[in-house]
Amino acid sequence: MTGPSLNRRDCLRGLGCALFLPWMESFPFADPPKRKDKPPVRMAFLSTPNGVNMEHWRLPNASTLSPTLQGLKAVLKDVLILQNLRHDKARANGDGPGDHARETGTFLTGVQLRKTAGNDIRAGVSIDQIAAQRAGHLTAIPSLELGLEGSGQAGSCDSGYSCLYSSNISWRTPTTANLKETDPRAVYKKLFLDVAQSGDNQIRAGEVALRKSMLDLVRDDASRLSKQLGGSDRHKLDEYLESVRELEKRIQRFGLGSATADKDAPKVSYPERNDHLAYTRIMLDLIALGWQADVTRITTFMFGNGGSGINYRHLGINGGHHELSHHANDAKKIADIRTIDRYLVDQFVYFVEKLASIKESDGRSLLDYSMVLYGSGTGDGDRHNHDDLPMLLAGSGGGSIKPGRALAANGNMCDLFLAMTTRFGVQLESFGDSTKMLDLPR
């Protein structure tokens, strides 16, 4: 960046890369009496496959957390436990089996999928993309689609439903899914790619990233910026750059090695490397970094594809997730599913705590200006039902939601989406099979 004035939209530039800045006191809008704009609201939709074991998820009473939700204790004041939400269009409604394709394809669209494994795909535009169409122009990346499990995008993955339905929750058009990114290195490069530059500079930046620190590329700009800042902001800048570098190192340790070595490395899906926890938290930290620097405000994240068979060996569990979800009252399988459910909720808690640790311009946290929806399009994994879905909503949406309680929502998922997009700044009269806007506590 150059010049004496500072703005959050400024960034540190280097060879084909751009590191956007977090909020700092030196920005012109930082003085409360003069500041007109509040920090922006962000939205994330985190999906988990295969439902849960509802016996251990459902609250025994209004004041007691269930066994699966014990991890929420640390963040309960920032979370709504949503009860009795349903996705009617995820039911068969005459189309027969295929609940896992419907749990993902319907999750953010609220429409009945066309049952096909061919080219005549038809879902619906997902709620994240409705928001991105209206507000995506405000950030460098209109929306970010991430996941932990890669997959084929053609053929049948569930009882005659295309793999596109099982593998994606974000849909740009009724016939076009936004394919998720599962490689942390690719996500890192995408966040820091300088869209103002093109051609060879971008290509070279992509080749350099994570082989040489991105911070080395912006070192000169960072040095110039530091001289313009006050003492507290210099410290904040140093902390921010150090957090970026630490994330770089974690991605390097996690990856398959150097960029050169990757060319000959076996193409193995990340969850099968027995480092699922490290993988998950790197991806969640990348989302937080993108939000902190205001590179994007809309994110979808899939812990697994519909009907996922990921094996959670690091939890001491043998057998795939989908197989275990069909426990048929087998005590060992139920115990394993409860462990997986608790583990995934704990990752949601990790992300909530991460957002709560990042301060915004008015002294409130990034979480205060966020809405993070977590859950599955299937209720009980053994029953394959699509009512009473396991749903958690974190954040206060810029002060428009009062969390910290269980809420008997008693409505369609699309009613919730109307309430979320309104707080995001996008007004919709209807969406999917919505019947009304869900009344969230204020």
* pLDDT bracket for residue 208 (50, 70, 90): low
pLDDT of residue 6: 57
Residue 205 confidence class, pLDDT cut points 50, 70, 90: low
Instruction: Among 22-36, 59-73, 233-247, 343-357, name the one with the lowest average pLDDT.
Output: 22-36
Mean pLDDT of all residues in 198-218: 64
Model confidence at 198, pLDDT cuts 50, 70, 90, reads low
Structure confidence by residue, pLDDT tens digits, 324-362: 999 999 999 999 999 999 999 999 999 999 999 999 888
Q: Residue 213: count other Cβ atoms within 10 Å of its Cβ.
A: 17
Contact 158, 166 (CB under 8 A): yes
- Least trusted range by pLDDT, from 25-39, 203-217, 233-247, 351-365: 25-39
* Range name among 71-80, 103-112, 174-183, 210-219 with the lowest pLDDT average: 210-219
Over residues 109-119, the pLDDT tens digits come to: 999 999 999 99
- The pLDDT mean for the chain works out to 88
Range with the largest mean pLDDT of 27-31, 60-64, 127-131, 239-243:
127-131
φ, ψ (nearest 5 deg) of residue 281? -75, -30
* Cα 174 from Cα 143, distance rounded (Å): 17
Q: Is the pLDDT of residue 30 over 80?
A: no
pLDDT at 269: 45
The Cα–Cα gap between 55 and 72 comes to 17
Is there a contact between 376 and 345 (Cβ–Cβ < 8 Å)? no
pLDDT at residue 385 above 50?
Answer: yes
DSSP three-state, residue 359: strand
Q: Which residues fall within 8 angstroms of residue 39, CB to CB, at 6 or more apart?
A: 23, 360, 361, 362, 364, 366, 369, 398
The residue with greater pLDDT, 440 or 18, is 440
Q: Closest Cα to residue 131, out of 371, 309, 308?
A: 371
pLDDT at 386 over 80: yes
219 pLDDT band, cuts 50/70/90, is confident
User: Which domains does the chain carry?
Assistant: 1-37+197-268 (no CATH), 41-182+272-424 (3.40.720)
pLDDT tens digit sequence for 276-333: 999 999 999 999 999 999 999 999 999 999 999 999 999 999 999 999 999 999 999 9
- Say which range, 17-21, 45-49, 284-288, 315-319, has the weakest mean pLDDT: 17-21
How confident is the model over 60-64, as a mean pLDDT? Answer: 88
CA 67 to CA 228: how far, in whole Å?
Answer: 52
Q: Which two tokens stand for residue 156?
A: 């049948």
Query: Which residues, 6+ apart, have CB-to-CB distance to 210 below 8 Å?
Result: 185, 188, 189, 248, 251, 252, 255, 259
Look at strands 156-158 and 11-14 and give their pairing. unpaired
pLDDT category of residue 32 using cuts at 50, 70 and 90: very low
- What value does the mean pLDDT take over residues 421-426? 98
Residue 7 has pLDDT above 80, yes or no: no
Return the pLDDT at 301: 98
If you average pLDDT over residues 41-51, what whole number do you get?
A: 98
Mean of the pLDDT values across residues 179-192? 92
- For residue 27, is pLDDT > 80? no
Structure tokens at 180: 């998720």
DSSP for 378-400, written as a single string: -SBTTTT--SS--EEEES-TTTT
* pLDDT > 60? residue 55: yes
pLDDT at position 47 is 98
Compute CA distances 383 → 66, 345, 364, whole Å.
20, 21, 42
The pLDDT of residue 259 is above 60: no
Tracing tokens 């995820």 back to the chain, one arrives at: 90
Q: Over the stretch 67-83, which tens digit does the pLDDT of each residue have?
A: 999 999 999 999 999 99
Residue 230: predicted pLDDT: 79
Distance (Å, whole) CA 59 – CA 393: 16
Rounded Cα–Cα distance for residues 212 and 115 (Å): 47
Q: Is the pLDDT of residue 12 over 90?
A: no
Which whole number is the average pLDDT over 35-60? Answer: 92
Handedness of CA 173, 174, 179, 180 (dihedral sign): positive
The β-bridge partners of 52 are 380
Residue among 174, 244, 196 nearest 21 (CA): 244
